[in-house]
């Protein structure tokens, strides 16, 4: 079996928020790339599709995929 390199992979930070009875998600490095879902798993699947469509539209316009720059960490504090 010959290993073939596929398309370049990028990993974008996705922020998920509880939005009442559902969830929303957005990608800080891809302005306007948002999605929603009834569950966290559904929202993750939807935002993955939104990212793929966003990047495909950029490629169709001859634009490169933005580099992922955002980083996220949880910070524990007394509350």
| In-domain check, residue 55 | yes
| In-domain check, residue 77 | no
Side-chain half-sphere of 61: how many Cα atoms within 13 Å?
9
Our count of domains for the chain comes to: 1
Please give the residue range of the domain that contains residue 20: 15-60
Percent of the chain beyond pLDDT 90?
86
| In-domain check, residue 69 | no
pLDDT digits (tens, 9 = 90+) for 46-71: 999 999 999 999 999 999 999 999 99
pLDDT digits (tens, 9 = 90+) for 1-56: 555 555 678 999 999 999 999 999 999 999 999 999 999 999 999 999 999 999 99
**47/37 Cα distance (integer angstroms):** 9
Q: Considering the entire predicted model, what is its pTM?
A: 0.85
């Amino acid at each position: 079996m010959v290993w073939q390199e596929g398309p370049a992979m990028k990993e974008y930070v996705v922020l998920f928020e509880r939005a009442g009875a559902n969830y929303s998600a957005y990608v800080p490095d891809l302005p306007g790339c948002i999605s929603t879902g009834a569950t966290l798993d559904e929202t993750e699947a939807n935002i993955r599709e939104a990212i793929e469509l966003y990047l495909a539209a950029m490629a169709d316009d001859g634009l490169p995929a933005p580099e992922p720059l955002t980083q996220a960490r949880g910070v524990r504090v007394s509350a």
